[in-house]
Structure 1
Amino acid sequence: MKAWRLTMATGSLEFADVPAPVARPGSVVVRVEAAPVVSYLREYVAGRLPDYDPPPDPFTPGTSAVGVVEEVGAEVYGLRPGQRVVATGHYTSAENVAEPAQALLGITAPPGSGAVLETWRDGTFAEQVVAPVSTVTPLPAALDGIGGAALIGVTRCLVPYGGLLRGRLQAGETVVVNGATGGFGSAGVTVAVAMGARRVVAAGRTRAVLERLSTQNRVVTVALSGDVEADAEALRRAAGAPIDLGLDLVGGAGDPESTLASLAALRRGGRQVLMGSMTAALPIDYTGLMMTGKEVIGNFMYPRSAPGRLLELVAAGLLDLDGIPTEHFPLAALREAMDRAAHSGAPLVAVGG
């Protein structure tokens, strides 16, 4: 089969002929229809993300995919060949220990979990991928006839969905999404609407994206100025009601102002979930946090049950994937797809087929 092979030590990325994968115990082979290209992939391939711990060289990058099960390994009981599935990148070991190992397959693992990537080193930028069964979710019957390129938006929605679950979003609550003009942030706006938020305040700095988000039902937008007090007041005013939950997905910010504005705008007892990639320290007002009873919650990715639950929202017509603009490239055009994904305000880019 064809697969992209990355050697981090030399920065070499090649489209090569490699042996077709074989299912092993606890895994399935998935034929890839579409695989998302993360916005930072160009920087990752160039070795400019020092905090990332990649798999051993050489390996196939790529996190998630929509595809068809080709083969099942031993100890696989519920999946079958021919079944259409979503294979997601976030893996957590099934061990009954306090802190099970985890990894973002095909990309990186946190400290102490590097061995995961030695076992599951190859990702989804290939015609086929071996995926651990805990990361593979069958499509609901209502979605089975929809092509992979049309469904790939589910993989972008998973990250903010995990944050909204961690923040305990309830139907009827009011939400602020900070970083709403980024890829994951804009998806978070759409997901919060699907989960029944009374109102979603999309906060960001790219006005063209804010204008697009404002066309969704129950969504209002705020263009942030960088002034914490003024932005907090603008968020409260736009919400029109006490703000229950803040989902922070700001990407690569060098200052904490927008995060602090979102936190300040919350009602007493409100919850702020941090899932972005801010590079600056976050100064917290200790007394203010204590007196207001607000929660600040760090969260990485999503629980194992999230893909299935999110797919049911799509099948029920509650989550409209048309709200996640997508562009599809052939697998052989990964380099062009990487360049497109790196552009500010770019749609979700996918390769495959």
Structure 2
Amino acid sequence: MNGKLRIPALLAVAALLLLPLTAGTATADGPTVRLSTSQAGAGGSITVSGSGWRPHALLMMLICGQATPARGVIGGTNSCANADGRAVTTDTRGGFSKKMPVSEPPVPCPCVVHVATVEGAKAQADAVLTVAGHAVEPLPAEQTGGRLSILTDTRLDGSSGLLTWFGAPASRTLDFVVGNVGTSPVKDPVFQVGTSHGVFAPQWDDQQWRGTIASGGKARIKLPVELTAGAHGDYTVSLKYGGKVLAEQPWGVERPWGVTLFWILVLLVVPAALFRAGMAVVNRVRPRRAGGIRHRGLRLPELTLRLPKFTVDRTARPQPATTSTLPWFTPDSDPGSAAGRLSAPHDDSPTSPTTPTRKGPP
């Protein structure tokens, strides 16, 4: 009986020994990250794979210093080798696998491969990586006194005005409530507010809040946030205290259409003004006409129609009206006249209209 029990136990141990060893596995719950090797030198490469992520999610992989899976990246992405980072998209099951180069981060180790989502719901995971030949320094000690944590969701208060529509810097107020979960009060805490656009690292700005938060107490804090002039697009506002990111808030900034409208008007008005100025110069330098009259514009040639003048002589006697006769009738033989009807005998011989017969005087 003991022999029968011993055989399954040996098989289970052998199966555990034959399982592939994966270096730097993150926590089992939620997204996980695995590395093909736990140690590599600068200039080499490793394969990073993971599972449990959101399907079709865009991820950014970075090698960061002064970080552990338990405490995260203390210095944020400023402690990472951002130039050699790699982006990857998960499959339909939320998994991925991609090769990335090994480079030395700007701060000493301990180092991790930090994987985080770029857009959408925030998720991240770390896997331990030893960069051969890179300096190693202990992490800064954790605060043993007062510790602040976010109690409510952060929000951005405020709206854009007319000047923002014409390119003025957009500004908001970051409103949140923090509580002191430490054993000692926190006086005049200094927060770091950062704004990032797309996949770029946030630019941090130190802001001090005046006041004291007792142990177990809470306080509502409002910090100003401002972007550069003309900034537009999707931004992310991050809040950090004591080297740890407490909250992140998305911020969509509209495009300053007033600037676009201004440039359209400039492109229309300036050419028209230059054309008017050029025409004025042309009118001034154009040669003059005879008589000192300048050409004020395009003129059609002046055409004058000269008609002959007719005069009436009022002293002349009126002439008697003459009656026109046909060419083959003389005035005496004109049948229409009285003399022709009395003196001319009737002639029945035909006459040709082309060869009229003329009679001489008696």
TM-score range, shorter chain: under 0.3
If asked which structure has higher relative contact order (CA below 8 Å, sep 6+), I would say 1
Q: Greater share of strand residues, 1 or 2?
A: 2
**Structure exhibiting the larger radius of gyration computed from Cα positions:** 2
- TM, length-normalised to structure 1: 0.23
